[in-house]
Amino acid sequence: MSDWELDCIHWHGEILTGDFRHWCNDWDDLPIDESCSEFACCCCDFRERNTLAEVHRARLDAEYEAERAKHPEWTDFDAFLSFDSEGRYLEAEE
């Protein structure tokens, strides 16, 4: 068995096989993938090598452009402030 397989079995009881599997520095080199709860807090960058992240980024870009089209008075800074840290659109306060 590989080190990856041994670590996965030790920590998770199964071998992780997800597209985002890796030893995560944010979790003291715990083996994780997208099926693990720790993955939501992982700051590792997979954008350059994973199509799932590219699809997610394209969706966020489309949402951003749709909101920008509704508000031509927005500056780039205003538009940036209208999204939270995970890219979700924030409703304007009235």
pLDDT given at position 49: 47
Are residue 19 and residue 56 in the same domain, yes or no?
no
* Burial track 62-82 (b if 16+ CB lie within 10 A, e otherwise): eebeebeeeeeeeeeeeeeeb
Residue 14 pLDDT > 90, yes or no? yes
* 49 and 19 together in one domain: no
List the domain range (segments joined by +) for residue 94: 45-94
Q: What is the pLDDT of residues 16-61, one digit of tens each?
A: 998 888 888 888 889 998 899 888 888 887 644 455 556 566 677 7
Looking at the structure, do residues 32 and 49 belong to the same domain, yes or no?
A: no
Residues 53 and 83 in one domain: yes
Neighbours of 31 (CB within 10 A): 23
Rounded Cα–Cα distance for residues 22 and 34 (Å): 10
Quick one: 52 and 27 in the same domain? no
pTM above 0.85, yes or no: no
Tell me the pLDDT tens digit for each residue of 57-87. Answer: 667 777 777 777 887 776 665 555 566 656 6
Q: Are 11 and 30 in contact (CB under 8 A)?
A: yes
Task: State the total domains in the chain.
Answer: 2
